[in-house]
Amino acid sequence: KESIMDGVNYEDEMPSENPDDSIAKTVLHKLQEERKTLPIYPYREQLLQAVQDHQVLVIVGETGSGKTTQIPQYLHEAGYTKRGQGFGHASTPTAACILASNAALVLGRKALEWRLLEMNIECQLFLVGCTQPRRVAAMSVAARVSQEMGVKLGHEVGYSIRFEDCTSEKTIMKYMTDGMLLREFLSEPDLASYSVIMVDEAHERTLSTDILFGLVKDISRFRKDLKLLISSATLDAEKFSDYFDSAPIFKIPGRRYPVEIHFTTAPEADYIDAAIVTVLQIHVTQPPGDILVFLTGQEEIETIDEILKHRTRGLGTKIAELIICPIYANLPTELQAKIFEPTPEGARKVVLATNIAETSLTIDGIKYVVDPGFCKIKSFNPRTGMESLLVNPISKASAMQRAGRSGRTGPGKCFRLYTAYNFQNDLDDNAVPEIQRTNLANVVLTLKSLGINDLVNFDFMDPPPSEALLKALEQLYALNALNSRGELTKTGRRMAEFPLDPMLSKMIVASEKYKCSEEVISISSMLSVGNSIFYRPKDKQVHADNARMNFHTGNVGDHIALLNVYNSWKETNYSTQWCYENYIQVRSMKRARDIRDQLEGLLERVEIEPTSNLSDLDAVKKAITSGFFHHSAKLQKTGAYKTVKNPQTVYIHPSSGLAEASFSFITIFCCVLPRWVIYHELVLTTKEYMRQVTELKPEWLIEIAPHFYQLKDVEDAAATKKLPRGKGRAAE
C-alpha cells in the first residue's frame, strides 16, 4: 500500500495553507451536501449494483434528478476509472485501487500509469465518457462536476466539443458531444480508453446519438468489460431496451410538483410579442419565482432581451427587478454561468433559452414556463437533396417536458401560447428522429472511413429513408469522396480527417490543386463560426453596415469578404480595438482563429502544403466551387434566383454583401446582381434565402464537376462563351 505512494512528491501540487482554503472547503462541503439532496442519491448503491450486474443498462429519470452530473461521479467513486492487476474495475475497489485513484488526482493519469508500470504494477486508468447532444450542455455540466469534485476543469473532469478539447492526461471523466465520440471511433475503434460510455439524453435521438447506438452496441459484443449506460429523460425507454437486446431499465423516481397548464383561447398571430406580454404579466401579477421562456434561436432571444430591457425600464421602482439571462449555443462561456446564479432576494430572473433548457440543462428556481410551441429544426428533402433550417411546431412530448421544468422545486405554472385545440390536433406525439430528416453525407463518410460499407444493413434503431442514404452516396460520389463502387477514395479519406461537413472538407482538400490552402482554411473557419461575425447595434446600423461593406470592396462576394475580415484582423495583430471599430465580434474572431489553427494542423496531417494565392481570387473561388458546386443558382428575370440542379426559387439573404449592392441600386438591380452564384447554405424565414453568396462563372461548374453538370445546365452561358466540354471526371 505504502509503496504506491512512496516517492510521490506532491508538495508542489498541494495548495499551501491560506485563508481562501477554508472558503474553498466550505463551498466544497456545501456542494457535497447538495449532491445528497438529488433524487438519484438514494438509488446510488442500487444503481452501482445494476451496472456491475449488467453490461448495458437503460436509465430513465426526470430532468434534474442528477443523471448527468452524478452517475459518472458514482462510477468514478466506485472504481471504474482505474484498472489494475487482479481487481477488474467492475469488482469491489480495493485499497490499492482507491490509493491509485487518489494518487492520480495528484500525479496525472499518464504519470501514474508510468510509475506503476515501473514498479511492475499493471494499473491503468480508464475514462468514463458521457455524451451530450449539445455542446453547451457538455461544457456546463463538466464545469459543474469539476466544482463538485473540487478539481480544475480540464484536469480530472474535462469536456471535448468540436474544435475545443478541454481535457488532459489527468482526465478520467469526460463529457463530450455525441459527435465527438463518433469521431473518436476513427482513432480508437474499440474505445479502449473507456471503461464506461454513458449515452446521455438518448431521447433526443440526434443523428450522432443514433449512429453511436449502432457502434457501441457492436463493440460491446467483443469488449465485455465495457459498460454501456443509455440514459433518457422520457419514460418510454422500452424502445432503447429492445434495441439493446432487452437491457434492463433502471428507473429513478422523480420528484415532481403539480403544474397548472394554461392555453390561449385563440391562436397568437405573433408569438414573440405574446411571449413578451406574458413574461411582463407574470412579473407584475404573480408571486416570486423565476421564469423560463422557450425560444427558437439566438436572434429571437436577442430581440426579446432587448425589448424586455426597454419595457421594464418604464415599470417604475414599485415593481421588482427583472434579471434577463439568455442561453443559447453561441453564448460566450462567461455568460453561460449566469443562468445558474441564484436570483437575489426581491428580484426575479427570466431565462430566455433555446431547446437546451428542455432536458439538457436544469435551472433551479423556475416556477413559470412560457412555451410558444416552436423550435428550429433542420429539414432535408431527400428528393432534391436540399437542406434548410426552419421553425417548426414542437411535439407533444416536448411540450410536456417544457411544462415539467416549472414543477421541479414546487408547484408551477406553464403558459402555452397556443390553444388546447392546437395541442390536441396539430402537434405530433414525438419528434421525428434526426436521422430521418437530415442530410446523411457526413455520417456516411464517417462510417465508410470506419470500414462500414454495408450501410443498408447497419443496425439502425430507426433506419433512415433509403432515398436519403442514396442521396448521401450520390453526393459523396459527386464530391469524389467515393468511387463508383461506393468505396472511399484518397480524397474521401483526406476529407474524413476534417471535422466538417463534406462540402467544406472537400473545398479544403481541393485547395491543394488551386494552391490557396491558406485562404481556404481561413474561409472555412469563418464559416464554421456561424453567423456571429458582424454585429449591428440598433442605434448604429448605418455605421455597422458601412464598416461591413468595406470588406466587400469590388463586390468580391461573401466568402472573400470573410477572408478579408480575417486577414485584416491578422494584420492588426489580432487587435480587439480594430474589431470594435469595425463592428466585428472579437469572440467570434478568436474562435475562428482557434478553428483555423486546428485546420492548419489537419492540413499537415493530410499532407497538404500551406500555400497562399491571394493574387488570384478566382483560384480561391474555384476551390470553394469544388466543394459547393451542388449549391449553385442562377438569376431570373424577376430578380429571384433558381437553384440549378433541383430548380427552386431562392433569394440572396439581406445580410449578404451582394444583397446590399442590389438595395443601393434597387432600380437596376438586375444589372448589379451576379447572374450565377454559389451559396453556403439555405435558410427559410419569410423566404428561402441563400446565406454567404459568391459570384461564379458557369463554365467552372463544367470544369470542376463535369460528372454533375452538363452543358445544358449552363446553356445560356454557353451562347456567349465557349465552354470546355466535360470529359468524364475532373482530375483531382
Residue placing its CB nearer to ligand ADP in the complex, 41 or 535: 41
Inter-axis angle of helices 517-529 and 586-605, to 10 degrees? Answer: 130
Residue placing its CB nearer to ligand ADP in the complex, 235 or 452: 235
Least CB distance from residue 69 to Mg ion, whole Å?
Answer: 7
Residue placing its CB nearer to Mg ion in the complex, 68 or 588: 68
Which of Mg ion, ligand ADP, none does residue 581 bind (CB under 5 to 8 Å by kind)? none
Residue placing its CB nearer to ligand ADP in the complex, 268 or 358: 358
Least CB distance from residue 579 to ligand ADP, whole Å?
Answer: 29
- Specify the stretch interacting with Mg ion by CB under 5 A; choose among 17-25, 63-71, 597-605, 657-665: 63-71
Grid cell in block for residue 366 = 423556475
Residue 354 in contact with residue 328, Cβ under 8 Å? Answer: yes
Least CB distance from residue 204 to ligand ADP, whole Å?
Answer: 12
Number of residues that bind Mg ion (CB under 5 A): 2
What b-and-e string marks burial along 213-246, b requiring 16 or more CB atoms within 10 Å of the CB? bebbbebbeebeebbbbbbbbbeebebbbebbee
Residues 469-488 contacting Mg ion, CB under 5 A = none
Q: List residues bridging with 252 in a β-sheet.
A: 61
Least CB distance from residue 333 to ligand ADP, whole Å?
Answer: 11
Residue placing its CB nearer to ligand ADP in the complex, 40 or 717: 40
- Specify the stretch interacting with Mg ion by CB under 5 A; choose among 60-68, 146-154, 537-545, 723-731: 60-68
Which of ligand ADP, Mg ion, none does residue 362 bind (CB under 5 to 8 Å by kind)? ligand ADP
SS3 377: strand
| Phi–psi pair at 387, nearest 5 degrees | -120, 145
Residue 679 in contact with residue 629, Cβ under 8 Å? Answer: no
Alpha-carbon distance of 425 to 389, in angstroms, equals: 24
Residue placing its CB nearer to ligand ADP in the complex, 28 or 549: 28
Does position 81 bind Mg ion by CB under 5 A?
no
Least CB distance from residue 397 to ligand ADP, whole Å?
Answer: 16
Amino acid at the residue 506: K
Residue 203 in contact with residue 233, Cβ under 8 Å? Answer: yes
Which of ligand ADP, Mg ion, none does residue 674 bind (CB under 5 to 8 Å by kind)? none
Amino acid at the residue 188: E
Residue placing its CB nearer to ligand ADP in the complex, 362 or 491: 362
| Phi–psi pair at 478, nearest 5 degrees | -60, -35
Does position 131 bind Mg ion by CB under 5 A?
no
Residue placing its CB nearer to ligand ADP in the complex, 201 or 688: 201
- Supply the DSSP string of 525-589, one letter for each residue: HHHHH-S-SB---GGGHHHHHHHHHHTTTTT--HHHHHHHHHHHHHHTTS-HHHHHHTTB-HHHH
Residue 233 in contact with residue 62, Cβ under 8 Å? Answer: yes
Residue placing its CB nearer to Mg ion in the complex, 131 or 298: 131
Which of ligand ADP, Mg ion, none does residue 340 bind (CB under 5 to 8 Å by kind)? ligand ADP
Handedness of CA 689, 693, 697, 701 (dihedral sign): negative
* HEC letters along 49-71: HHHHHCCEEEEEECCCCCHHHHH
Which residues are CB-neighbours of 608 under 8 A, at least 6 positions away? 494, 508, 509, 511, 512, 517
Alpha-carbon distance of 160 to 620, in angstroms, equals: 32
Which of Mg ion, ligand ADP, none does residue 234 bind (CB under 5 to 8 Å by kind)? none
Between CA 123 and CA 135, with CA 129 as vertex, the angle to 5 degrees is 145
Residue placing its CB nearer to ligand ADP in the complex, 141 or 199: 141
Alpha-carbon distance of 698 to 722, in angstroms, equals: 11
- Specify the stretch interacting with Mg ion by CB under 5 A; choose among 61-69, 309-317, 340-348, 674-682: 61-69
Residue placing its CB nearer to ligand ADP in the complex, 40 or 705: 40
Q: Is 535 exposed, middle or buried (0-12, 13-18, 19+ CB in 10 A)?
A: middle
Residue 237 in contact with residue 60, Cβ under 8 Å? Answer: yes
Least CB distance from residue 200 to ligand ADP, whole Å?
Answer: 7
194-199 and 82-84 strand pairing: unpaired
Alpha-carbon distance of 54 to 259, in angstroms, equals: 36
Least CB distance from residue 342 to ligand ADP, whole Å?
Answer: 10
Least CB distance from residue 251 to Mg ion, whole Å?
Answer: 15
Least CB distance from residue 360 to ligand ADP, whole Å?
Answer: 8
SS3 342: coil
Which of ligand ADP, Mg ion, none does residue 471 bind (CB under 5 to 8 Å by kind)? none
Residue with grid cell 446582381, as numbered in its chain: 673
Which of Mg ion, ligand ADP, none does residue 146 bind (CB under 5 to 8 Å by kind)? none
Residue placing its CB nearer to ligand ADP in the complex, 174 or 680: 174
Least CB distance from residue 320 to ligand ADP, whole Å?
Answer: 23
Least CB distance from residue 261 to Mg ion, whole Å?
Answer: 24
Does position 68 bind Mg ion by CB under 5 A?
yes
Residue placing its CB nearer to ligand ADP in the complex, 152 or 309: 152
DSSP assignment letter at 432: P
- Specify the stretch interacting with Mg ion by CB under 5 A; choose among 67-75, 324-332, 376-384, 598-606: 67-75
- Supply the DSSP string of 619-635, one letter for each residue: HHHHHHHHHHTTSEEEE
Least CB distance from residue 151 to ligand ADP, whole Å?
Answer: 15
Q: Name the region of 537 (left: φ>0; alpha: ψ -120 to 50; beta: rest).
A: beta
Residue placing its CB nearer to ligand ADP in the complex, 70 or 585: 70
Grid cell in block for residue 370 = 412560457
Least CB distance from residue 67 to Mg ion, whole Å?
Answer: 5
Which of ligand ADP, Mg ion, none does residue 61 bind (CB under 5 to 8 Å by kind)? ligand ADP
Which of ligand ADP, Mg ion, none does residue 270 bind (CB under 5 to 8 Å by kind)? none
Grid cell in block for residue 587 = 469572440
By the criterion CB under 6 A, which residues form the site for ligand ADP? 38, 61, 63-70, 140-141, 143-144, 340, 362, 364
Least CB distance from residue 141 to ligand ADP, whole Å?
Answer: 5
Which of ligand ADP, Mg ion, none does residue 69 bind (CB under 5 to 8 Å by kind)? ligand ADP
Q: Which residue is nearest to Mg ion (CB)?
A: 68
Least CB distance from residue 59 to Mg ion, whole Å?
Answer: 10
Which of Mg ion, ligand ADP, none does residue 143 bind (CB under 5 to 8 Å by kind)? ligand ADP
Residue placing its CB nearer to Mg ion in the complex, 63 or 582: 63
User: Which residue ranges make up the site for Mg ion (CB under 5 A)?
Assistant: 67-68
